[in-house]
Amino acid sequence: MMSLRPLAAPTALLALLIGCRSVQSFAPYGSRFSSVTRHVSSTSTSDDVAASDGATDEECEVLLLDHLNINHEKGRQDALKSFYFDFLGCAIDPRKYDENYVAGKKINSFLDGEDERFAPLRETEFLVGVVDDMMMINDPWGSQFCILPSDDPVEDRAAGEGAQPVMEGHSPSEGLAMEDLTVYVEHGSNLAGIGRFYETVLGAPTIDEGDQSISVAMGERQTLTFQYHPDGKDAKVEHHDLSFAEPADEDAEAALPVYPSNHGPHISLYVTNLSRAYKAADALGVLYVNPRFKRRAYTMDEAIDQCMFRLIDIVDPLDTEGRVIVKLEHEVRSAKTRDGSKYKSCPLLKV
């Protein structure tokens, strides 16, 4: 058994489940969902989620934390392919085939340095450690992954509830689920205010709160956690990279508000009532449009037409001064289109 090497303090931690039949159950987050599951099932089910355009009287809830988008270092596609495809065993999204590589088959000899597929990782921040049944991994740029084994891969993959598309002739990702995303914040950040923000805007309840962290439910199977940075009180944390460097859109109307482009990470999630979430975000003044992306929702009608809007500032609804606790870009998506049909990119089978 390999001992855990020291890991650089990252700005985010992802807990991923992988398929493994020979280990005991390991579910550090699952026990926290008992009250949340009752809450969700008592208000709505996947069969009766309200359409996002007209059900403004219905509550809003998060259905799924869909993805975390991370920008990689320019010119280092070799390290990206080696880490995500060859090492983690991620599957290619056929919708982004032209932007991705063909994934290789993962092997178990990545630590001995003999497999040349992992050569691009040798001069990066990539680190691997093993503690009991967990693997602690730094990606080439310092983000940390906690890989957890599953004693029931079929249940944890939840293919009966939905799935992302897979390239023809390719196997599904070896990762079964993104169970938790932990985002580090500076010490002294208003954790309770973060919880109130998610409850107010997205209907996501707090399920665990302590002196150092707070976790909110992203549907029935996932959590989003905000935790004080492990480097201590002097650590500076930023999850945004804002600039006005993007060229102006010649077709854009002059009356439209101007937003800076964000080159930092963003998370994407699905909600049951986009209209309600949009109005709540608008009331707090946290709506955002990222000029880097073609889909831009400047109004609620545009958000409903595009099944999405963005926000970036997390604020405490009780703070009358509207002070920003942390900036983290969110792509808030609707599971349904304006006419009530399922949004094409939503991986859930029933909405």
Determine the Cα angle at 345 with ends 32 and 104, to 5°.
Answer: 85
Q: Say yes or no to pLDDT of 98 above 90.
A: no
pLDDT at 52: 43
**Per-residue model confidence as pLDDT tens digits over 305-333:** 999 999 999 999 999 999 999 999 999 99
How far apart are alpha carbons 154 and 220 in whole angstroms? 17
How far apart are alpha carbons 170 and 197 in whole angstroms? 40
Tokens found for residue 282: 């608008």
More confident residue, 236 or 151: 236
When pLDDT is averaged across residues 194-221 and rounded to a whole number, the result is 96
Q: Say yes or no to pLDDT of 35 above 90.
A: no
Q: What pTM did the predictor assign?
A: 0.79
pLDDT at 250: 56
Helices (H), 75-157: 77-80, 153-157
pLDDT at 75: 84
Please state, rounded to an integer, the average pLDDT across all residues of the chain: 78
Q: Which range has the worst mean pLDDT, 16-20, 22-26, 66-70, 319-323?
A: 22-26
Query: Residue 156's pLDDT band (boundaries 50, 70, 90)?
Result: confident
**Per-residue model confidence as pLDDT tens digits over 69-93:** 887 778 888 888 888 888 888 877 7
pLDDT at 5: 31
Q: Say yes or no to pLDDT of 187 above 60.
A: yes
**Per-residue model confidence as pLDDT tens digits over 102-138:** 333 333 344 445 678 888 888 898 888 887 778 888 8
Q: Which range has the worst mean pLDDT, 176-185, 190-199, 300-309, 323-332?
A: 176-185
Residue 340, sorted as left (phi over 0), alpha (psi -120 to 50) or beta, turns out to be left
Q: Say yes or no to pLDDT of 48 above 50.
A: no
Q: Using N-to-C axis directions, what is the helix angle for 274-284 and 191-202, rounded to 10°?
A: 140
How far apart are alpha carbons 308 and 255 in whole angstroms? 21
pLDDT at 144: 84
**Per-residue model confidence as pLDDT tens digits over 231-290:** 899 999 899 989 986 555 555 556 789 999 999 889 999 999 999 999 999 999 999 999
How far apart are alpha carbons 322 and 246 in whole angstroms? 28
pLDDT at 327: 96
How far apart are alpha carbons 65 and 87 in whole angstroms? 23
